[in-house]
Amino acid sequence: MSANVQEAADAAIEPVSFVRVPAPEPPTSLQQLIHDWQLIKHREGGYFKETDRSPSTMELEKPQKGDSSKTETVIRNQSTLIYYLLTPDSPIGKFHKNINRITHILQRGKGQYVLVYPDGQVKSFRVGFDYKIGEVSQWVVPGGVFKASFLVPNEEFHNGLLISEVVVPGFDFEDHTFMKGEDELKTIVGPEKAAELAFLA
C-alpha cells in the first residue's frame, strides 16, 4: 500500500446539497470542537489550527520571485503540523497549491479530494476509513499540484472531516498560491472540466 494519490481509487465528483449550499452553522458537536481547540477560519475554506512548528530551520531552494528561471535560497522551519476541519457550514477547501509536498492523515469523518496537475490531469479520490470501498486514510499531495477538498456526508463525525497535515519544509505563505478562480482552472483543464469543478475554484 502506498500513500501516493495516483494509486487511490478514482471517485466521481458528485457533491451533496450541503456542499453546494452550505449550512448556516456547524452542528453543535463540531461547533464545540472548533471552540475547544480554538480552530480559526481558513482563507481557503474550512477551519484550522497550527499545532506545531519545528523550532529548527532549514534552507529551501525555490524559484526566484519575479524571475522563475533563477532560484533563491530561503530559510524555513523544518516542519509544520495543522489540524484542518471541514464542516457543513464551510464544506469546501478551495483550490490552492504549495511548492512543497504535503502529507495528510485522516482523523475523523469523510471527504473527497480533487487534484489538478500542471499538465491538466485531474485526480479525485475519497478519504475515509472504509478502505474496502476505496477510501484512503493517508495521502501525499505533490508540490506544485492544485488541491481542493469537499465534505462527504457521514454519521461517524457529524458530517465533518478532520485531518492532520504535515509540511516539510514548514508552511510559509510565500510557498502557497491560491488558484485565480475559474479562469485559471479553465486554462489548465479546459472549459468543460472547469465547469464541473467550478464550485471548488
Under the rule (CB under 6 A), what is the footprint of ligand GUN? 42, 50, 80, 82, 171
11, 62, 33, 73: which is closest to 161 by C-alpha? 33
Query: Rounded distance, CA 46 to CA 42, Å?
Result: 6
Strand boundaries in 54-167, DSSP class E: 57-64, 67-77, 80-86, 92-98, 102-109, 111-116, 122-127, 138-141, 146-151, 161-167
C-alpha cell at 102: 504535503
Closest approach, Cβ 13 to ligand GUN, in A, equals 23
Give the shortest CB-57-to-ligand GUN separation in angstroms: 15
Whole-angstrom distance, CA of residue 64 vs CA of residue 41 = 30
The least CB distance from residue 70 to ligand GUN, in Å, is 27
Start-to-end CA distance of the chain, whole Å, equals 31
Smallest gap from Cβ 175 to ligand GUN, in A, equals 10
Nearer residue to ligand GUN within complex by CB, 163 or 189: 163
Three-class DSSP category at 13: coil
Q: Which is nearer to ligand GUN, 42 or 104 (CB)?
A: 42
Name the residue whose CB lies closest to ligand GUN.
171
The nearer residue to ligand GUN, 5 or 81, going by C-beta atoms, is: 81
Choice between 42 and 126, CB closer to ligand GUN: 42
